[in-house]
Amino acid sequence: MTDDGLHTLGRWTRDRARATPERVAVDDRGVTLRYRDLDDRASDLAAAFRAAGYGVGDRVATITGNSSDQVVLFFACAQAGLVFVPLSWRLAPRPDDELVTRTVRDDDALLIVFTSGTLGPAKGVVLTHANCFWTNLSLSRITEITRKDVVLSVMPQYHVGGWNIQPLLAWWTGATVVLERTFDPGRVLHLIKDRRITTMMGVPANYLFLAQHPDFAATDLSSLNHAVVGGAPMPAQLLRTWHARGVAPTQGYGLTEASPNVLCLPDDEARSMVGYAGKPYPHVEVAVADPITGDLLGGAATGELLVRGPGVFSGYFRAPEQTARTLRGGWLHTGDLVRRDEHGYFAVIDRLTDIFISGGESVAPALVETVLIEHAAVAEVAVIGVPHDRWGEVGVAFIVLTPGFAADELGILAYARTQLAAFKVPAFVRFVPEIPRSLGSKVLRRQLLENWKHGLDFEKIGNKL
């Protein structure tokens, strides 16, 4: 390693192999891999890559589930300077024939992670060694992980959360990571009890499905000291359900383009700051900008969240125009609408692209969802805006009913009218067996809109208004 390679991640397994060689690094469905073996296998594979003629910047793509083999491959790529590209089966790699042979530098690409594609075609986000180093350093300052921890990893490894939210930090510090290839609520509850899981990360849907499982109330959760929430704000009702079991999930906010860690609430504030995503991580700078003018706003303000710092990505893979639109004026423009209070705490309101205009008023679907999810009969909900001749757009709520509960459209709308301004109340409710989600558990609003357009008559809705 050269001096400018001090933050490359290939060093991590070597350091851990010297410090804790016999400690379990990965528990892959009962098959364990010690730190000594992880480093040996990664080093051997890195050497094989070099011998085969692969050099710095070459890309290695995988299409598979979570596994210890992928962990070995990741660190082999880190040592050899290759770029690790974990893909879902819907995507395909593109080859590159230029060979670069030199030592690995901090600004070399380490990961190409594709966005979920919920708002458009998936984009390849290029993360460097330095990006991953700094985001994990920031994470360690707030959510400390030690060699005594047992981390449960349920996020898919083609998702940035499968690496940079706990697993990589765990392998840096010598903790054990229990890998799951799919998310099965019953099995996860069993693992928390059986493996004495101390910390995990999931999206709100993960925690919802766990809370709905019949074993949830009886499962021993005493070892679970830390539960990180990302991907979307966690509904207050769901937070209270977990609080009642003695677990205070920590809300955070991030995006793939920021490696992803941006905002978080420390454990001691998780119960008192329900609805907030917290303050910036160390080494992360944020600002709030007027969505129309782009001017930075001071004090308590509502606007688009901007981010800068060493964790911000280097660009989209082979997409310079998209990169230029996202990285402007020295800031990463997130496309997320946030509210900052007078104490500097941030609450995420919604994606700017999800907000719709009804009768000249802006409606944030996430805020409507936060109200509807409080209804006892509502297990899951997603709200979208659909075209309307009179109002421009109106809201439609897609609802999954809580098992054992019954509800109808009129009852749900009557409840909504007691909690929301009239223009925010959905015009229509559709009961569905499930909410379509991406492989990263994000709501596929485009699919809901297409389903609506092909399945219902807008004139019938107009007659209701």
3-state SS track over 245-286: CCCCCEEEEECHHHCCEEEECCHHHCCCCCCCCEEECCCCEE
Determine which of 50-64, 119-133, 277-291, 316-330 has the lowest per-residue pLDDT on average: 119-133
Q: Are strands 124-128 and 315-316 parallel, antiparallel or unpaired?
A: antiparallel
- Residue 358 DSSP SS3: strand
CA–CA distance, 127 with 136 (Å, rounded to integer): 13
Query: For a pLDDT cut of 90, what percent of the chain falls above it?
Result: 75
Q: pLDDT digit string (tens) for 436-446? A: 987 777 889 98
Domain 3-349 has CATH 1.10.510.10: no
pLDDT in tens, 382-427: 999 999 888 889 999 999 999 999 999 999 999 999 999 999 999 9
Give 428's contacts (C-beta < 8 A, 6+ positions apart).
394, 395, 396, 397, 409, 456, 461, 464
Mean pLDDT estimate for the chain: 90
| Structure tokens, 108 | 């070399």
Query: Could you report the per-residue pLDDT of 82-118, keeping only the tens digit for each?
Result: 999 998 754 544 444 455 557 789 999 999 998 866 5
CA-based angle 166:170:173, to the nearest 5? 140
State residue 360's pLDDT score.
Answer: 84
Mean pLDDT of the region 54-71: 94
Q: Where are the beta strands (DSSP E) in 11-120?
A: 24-28, 31-34, 59-63, 83-87, 109-114
Question: Does residue 169 carry a pLDDT above 60?
Answer: yes
Domain borders along the chain are 3-349, 354-462
- H, E, C per residue of 181-236: CCCCHHHHHHHHHHCCCCEEEECHHHHHHHHHCCCCCCCCCCCCCEEEECCCCCCH
Give the model's pLDDT for residue 44: 98
Q: The CATH number of 354-462 is which of 3.30.1180.20, 3.40.50.150, 3.30.300.30, 2.60.120.460?
A: 3.30.300.30
pLDDT tier for residue 119 given thresholds of 50, 70 and 90: low
Average pLDDT over residues 259-272: 88
What 8-state DSSP symbol labels residue 136? H
Contact 335, 353 (CB under 8 A): yes
Residue 1 pLDDT greater than 80, yes or no: no
